Chain A
């Protein structure tokens, strides 16, 4: 049973470009969470999605960031017009149920560098 997959593992973008980060949850999991980790810090929640629905986006910046989890295919976190401050590690996690009562399974992360 493959774990949570994320790609790319490393992504370099110039300021102003778009970044697309992909996440395939574990088989059988329909709940996906995105977190961002700045250097030497803990993870910060960004968004929680179920298939075709955004459930909680309270951690998403109001502009330039969007997320989706279509019926078919991976979840995508999109960052438009990237700035240097977007440089961070972005982690996706999945769980079989959408409550805080269960562990989350994390992917290896995508490390975004904005030059």
Chain B
């Protein structure tokens, strides 16, 4: 079953604009993670936000978590062409603590120079 569902599925913006991606999940979670995948490559971990945190920053990235709404958002500010990639949210499987991550379908971001 899908733990995370993301929207939009695709997003196209101009360089310098902000990009916001949303993720909704179904069960209670310990944490939520965001990953980036460049075309044809592996995933790179971006940020992990724990269930007792509401907001977290890392450089141009800002992640929020609303456990009451079971949703998270990833904001990329001042986007660059190099930010073009697919972005996935992932959360540990609800009933286990074995590190099994359940991924969303992803948001494909295109940043036009």
Contact = CB atoms under 8 A, between A and B. Distances in A.
Interface stretch (B13-21, B61-69, B72-80, B94-102): B94-102
A69 to B, nearest CB: 14
A55 B98 contact: yes
B30 interface: yes
B105 A98 contact: no
Given A100-B30, A103-B48, A45 B102 contact: yes
Interface of A: 4, 31, 33, 35, 41-45, 48, 55-56, 58-59, 91, 93, 95, 97-109
Nearest to B100: A45
Contacts of B45: 103-106
Given A31-B99, A56-B98, A106-B44, 8 more contacts: A42-B88, A43-B90, A48-B98, A48-B100, A100-B101, A104-B99, A108-B41, A109-B42
A91 B43 contact: yes
A104 to B, nearest CB: 7
15 contacts: A35-B101, A41-B105, A42-B103, A42-B105, A43-B88, A45-B102, A56-B98, A59-B100, A99-B92, A100-B31, A100-B96, A101-B31, A101-B97, A106-B45, A108-B41
B30 A33 contact: no
B71 interface: no
B42 A107 contact: yes
A100 B43 contact: no
Given A42-B88, A42-B105, A42-B106, A98 B42 contact: no
A99 B88 contact: no
B99 A106 contact: no
Contact of B101 (A4, A45, A98, A107): A45
